[in-house]
Amino acid sequence: MPLQNIFDNEEFFEGYQELREREVNANNLFEIPERFALLPDLTDLRILDLGCGTGEHCKEYIEKGAKEVTGVDISEKMLEVAGQKNSDPNITYLNMPMEDIDKIEGEFDLAISSLAMHYVEDYKGVIKNVHRLLAPNGIFVFSQEHPIVTCHPGGDRWTKDESGHKLYANLADYGIEGERHTTWFVDDILIYHRMFSTVINCLVEEGFMIDRITEPEPSEELLNKYPEYYDLLHRPDFLLIRARRAN
């Protein structure tokens, strides 16, 4: 079966770009700050960015002192924007799926992936290759949709009261791993659900030590400004992990 490349779907790409251009979105408020908080000092590091998208963070890593960055993405549309807006002599962009990083040679001090791992079918294979590409004590920081989110089999995600207030998240099929088909800008987007234990145990089995795990939630200050994010106190959207390659 050919690998899914939803980001080259014109309707999806336009919707995604519009979302990312909004100042207030879950990525900007939660995922990005948490991910950067997990990163080490980037000075002189060789970085591999898996699912780099339009490359804005590749450019930011260079600005924060990284020696060189290799950005990998399956989407030609994303990389076209990256080349136009976020090019740098020390950034190399590669058009390939994450499942094919076994073709990359060299060694990296830090691997980063933002909200891409839940699109990967062969999670174990990608983790194995990240481990191979990292230097001893190299760090892997990645985010993904939280397993409580990816498990959703379809239908309403929330039970609400008569006024539409979210009372609690609907949870089903958490223990049934595998494909899920969801709607986000377009219908039938394919993601892969893995239990929390599978995500962690695979890292350990492939030679990683877990440094830190975070599940971002809104602060009281943020809720005062954006009360619509109260539902994250019921159910986190994101899971972020920092792991270290064992010697």
Per-residue model confidence (pLDDT) at position 230: 93
Mean pLDDT of 141-151: 97
Has residue 1 got a pLDDT over 50? no
As a whole number of angstroms, the distance between CA 223 and CA 234 comes to: 13
What does the alpha-carbon distance between residue 148 and residue 159 come to, in Å, rounded to a whole number?
15
pLDDT tens digits, 194-210: 999 999 999 999 999 99
State the residue range of the domain holding 10: 6-245
Determine the pLDDT at residue 126: 98
- Number of domains within the chain: 1
Return the structure tokens found at 145.
Answer: 């949709």
pTM recorded for the entire structure: 0.91
Give the DSSP letter string of 189-227. Answer: EEEEE--HHHHHHHHHHTTEEEEEEE-----HHHHHH-G
Is residue 1 situated within a structural domain? no
- The encoded tokens of residue 239 equal 């899971």
In a domain, 31, yes or no: yes
pLDDT band at 99 (very low <50, low <70, confident <90, very high): very high
| The pLDDT value given to residue 9 | 60
pLDDT band at 222 (very low <50, low <70, confident <90, very high): very high
In a domain, 195, yes or no: yes
Q: In this structure, is residue 167 part of a structural domain?
A: yes
Q: What is the CATH number of the domain that holds 92?
A: 3.40.50.150
How does the average pLDDT of the chain come out, rounded?
91
pLDDT of 185 > 60? The answer is: no
Does residue 11 fall inside a structural domain? yes
